[in-house]
Structure 1
Amino acid sequence: MTSEALMAPPAAPGLFRRLAAGRVFPVLAIVAAIIVIWLAGAIWLNAPQIEDAYQRAGQPLDFATLVHEGWNAKRPVLPSPQQVVTDLWNSLTLSPTSKRSLVYHATITGSAALSGFALGSLLGIVLAIAIVHVRRLDLSLMPWVITSQTIPILAIAPMIVVVLGNLGLTGLIPKAIISMYLCFFPVTIGLVKGLRSPDPLQMDLMRTYSASSRQVLTKLRWPAALPYLFAGLKVAIAISLVGAIVGELPTGAQAGLGSRLLAGSYFGQTVQIWSALFVASFLGTALVALVGLAEWMVRRSMGGRLT
């Protein structure tokens, strides 16, 4: 063994080296940093009410007590991670049919989001095909599609709920319509770009073969547009969840993640608010993963032509 080999530092373990080179280690580092900042923020934001309570009681307050009270406050300004995890565990382990279970509320919000996503995707696909094939619609309809998204959804949602309520449509339908309004836009824009993505030489070749507009759509435009379509669908399904939650706020709904957020804000239950937010994020991640799974299945069925 040479002197250089004896002086060289020992190699890092294979597992640690693979973690550092991959995605796991950076993600874990970011998560750890967020938790540390969160814990510090819980102490800082909850400190004023804790100090005030101890001053009123005439009791001394040391740093260790401040940390403990800051992480376990009954009505915290910012709940600690362990408080949120405990509330999540207590809620998720209840019966799924219990109105205190976050699974029950997530099911209601998720059904509205999926309904709105299905309607919005269908509307977006129809609009995109029409815009690409009809020049007048491209000139007249496309600006309105873009303009529709400049209006805040918080201003539109109450109007939709009131109008549909007067027509006797309540419950799932108003929330689905609000989700549809939000999620049709990325599908339309993405698919229009995708349908126009084929190379001009390929279009000329289809015309040389005397292909009809339908054949050009099914044989050339649609396969080329699928990557754009799935990118839009991933954005749309995430936005549809936001629309479903927003749709639950104006009605004062008794069920759904929006109702949990609303009740938590009314009664100052910040732990309940954070738990509902975490469940909403988990639900959104699961919905996006479902679209990703559908994309993988389509890619596989097409022999890997979808990139």
Structure 2
Amino acid sequence: MKQAIAVVTVLAAIIVIWYVAAVGLNAKWVKDQAARAGEEVTFSHIVAQTMVQDRPVLPAPHQVAVGLWEGFAGQKVTSKRSLVYHGWVTLSATLLGFAIGTAAGIFLAVGIVNSRAMDLSIMPWAIASQTIPILAIAPMVIVVLASMGIKGLLPKAIIAAYLSFFPVLVGMVKGLRAPDNGQLDLLKTYHANASQGFWKLRLPSSMPYLFASLKVGVAASLVGTIVAELPAGATAGLGARLLSGSYYGQTVQIWSALFTAAALAAVLVMIVGRVETRVLKRMGMAQ
């Protein structure tokens, strides 16, 4: 009960601050309109007008709520104005990119742990790859792949994989190296070979680290997909909604797409968390 009250209190405070900010940022337009008409403007008039602007600088919470309702319930799911449609386009590329990034991260982590040469060669390049801004990488990847005739889902998935593989790689390397020397020596006394040591000790020990990385990776995949949709001239996807909203000054559309992306990321992280709980419980590593 106390936790619920705390959450509601924080949420209410955020909404109040949001409304105050909306009035402050949108008031200039109301004052300018009144000045042009030669009219005096009162505070109550400013508040009323800032709540109903078509293209506010900062939409009020109720305007974003209406935009979300119209995007989800007010359109057919196949409509180009539906947030369900655009969310699915983004989600499909996100999941594909997440799968590619996860597979690449796990594969490289296994190689790095078992090979000194890969540790010295691959790991520095993996770290260096993350210093390049994704906004610089995405257009190049999109253009190069488009010149090869590869368009649509795959280029966006590659960008998503680029952002998601690194957390998985780092977490998996940490997890595979988690067993201490005592545990490794115990396996040697049982004459276990490297393969048995991997499957019976290293891999189980890496599961908590892996799932923590997957939560970061799936959120990063979503970010990568949205970023990839921006330079691609995409007409579908949450990134496309953000781009078209910025072109035409539709700030309510922008905020609706942002909230949809945030909700989608939260759902994906929750799904990974549920899988983590079941897997670790089945392995006897969680209550």
Corresponding position: 1:26 with 2:6: yes
1:96 corresponds to which letter in structure 2? V
Q: Contact 1:227 / 1:306 at 8 angstroms: preserved in 2?
A: no
> Which residue of the partner structure matches residue 233 of structure 1?
214
Residue 35 of structure 2: aligned partner: 55
Give me the CA root mean square deviation.
Answer: 1.0
For 1:4, the equivalent position in structure 2 comes to: none
Following superposition, the deviation at residue 95 of structure 1 comes to 1.2
Please tell me the residue identity of whatever aligns with 2:151.
T
Deviations, residues 51-78 of structure 1 (Å, cap 9, x unaligned): 0001111222111111111111121000
Q: Secondary structure at the match of 2:242?
A: helix
- Structure 1 distance, partners of 2:168, 2:197, is 20
Q: Where does residue 256 of structure 2 map in the other structure?
A: 275
Residue of structure 2 equivalent to 1:44: 24
Task: Summarize deviations over 1:142-181 as a string: whole Å, max 9, x none.
Answer: 1111111000000000000011111111000000000000
**What residue is the counterpart of 2:154 in the other structure?**
173
| Whole-Å separation in 2 of the counterparts to 1:198 and 1:24 | 39
Q: Pick from 190, 196, 205: which aligns with 1:215?
A: 196
Higher gyration radius (CA): 1
Counterpart for residue 139 of structure 1: 120
1:11 matched residue in structure 2: none
Query: One-letter code of the match for 1:258?
Result: G
- CA-CA distance at 1:232 after TM superposition: 0.3
**Separation of aligned partners in 2, 1:24 and 1:154:** 39
Q: 2:70 aligns with which of 78, 90, 95?
A: 90
CA distance in 1, matches of 2:67, 2:122: 48
TM-score, structure 1 normalization = 0.92
- Matching residue's letter, 2:97: G
Q: How does 1:141-160 map to 2 (within 5 A)?
A: 141-160=122-141
Task: Report the count of equivalent residues.
Answer: 286
Q: Aligned partners of 1:141 and 1:247: how far apart in 2?
A: 25
Instruction: Measure how far apart 1:137 and its partner are.
Output: 0.7
Deviation at 1:30, TM superposition (A): 1.4
Unaligned runs of 5+ in 1: 1-18
Shift of the alpha carbon at 1:224?
0.6
Structure 1 segments, 4+ long, off by >6 Å, are none
Report if aligned partners of 1:226, 1:306 keep a CA contact under 8 Å in 2. no
Structure 2 stretches lacking a partner, 5+ long: none
Equivalent residue number for residue 54 of structure 2? 74
1:299 equivalent to 2:280? Answer: yes
Q: What's the counterpart of residue 15 of structure 2?
A: 35
Identity percentage of aligned residues: 55
What is the aligned partner in structure 1 of residue 232 from structure 2? 251
Q: Is the 8 A contact 2:207 2:280 kept in 1?
A: no
SS of equivalent residue, structure 1 residue 95: coil
Q: CA deviation at 1:306?
A: 4.5
- Shifted more, 28-37 versus 231-240: the winner is 28-37
- Deviations along 1:245-272, one digit per CA (max 9) or x if unpaired, are 0000001100000000000000000000
